[in-house]
Amino acid sequence: QVQLVESGGGLVQPGGSLRLSCAASGSIFRPNVMGWYRQYPGKERELVADITADGKTNYADSVKGRFTISRDNAKNTVYLQMNSLKPEDTAVYYCNIKPLWSVRLTSWGQGTQVTVSS
């Protein structure tokens, strides 16, 4: 019932920046948590960051101090500002949303490729 559309991925030089956006639409449950995950080839997806509607955030240790997650509740949109990008940040990034009270109702975006290379 929830659709998530991601944008902002691409190719960037090491040390560069990208800003990912993810807009949710449809039957959105509230309150909810929105987040960003990434997946390397052949590996399971892993948490990058997530954020509650009231602004509480969690970050993976590998991105703390470099990435910033934010959201615009009026637009049902979550953002990921990625600075000081490293080659190891190269992955497919997925947006998700889930009700605060449920894991089974998690919805995922289609993914957007981020490639950090010189």
**pLDDT at 46 (0 to 100):** 98
Reduced to 3 states (helix: H, G, I; strand: E, B; else coil), residue 88 is: helix
Burial 56-85 (b: 16+ CB within 10 A, else e): eeebeeebeeebbbebeeeebbbbbebeeb
Q: Mean pLDDT across the chain, nearest whole number?
A: 97
Residue 1 — pLDDT band, cuts 50, 70, 90? confident
* Separation between Cα atoms, residue 92 and residue 98, nearest integer Å: 20
Residue in this structure with the two tokens 């950090």, named with its chain if needed: 116
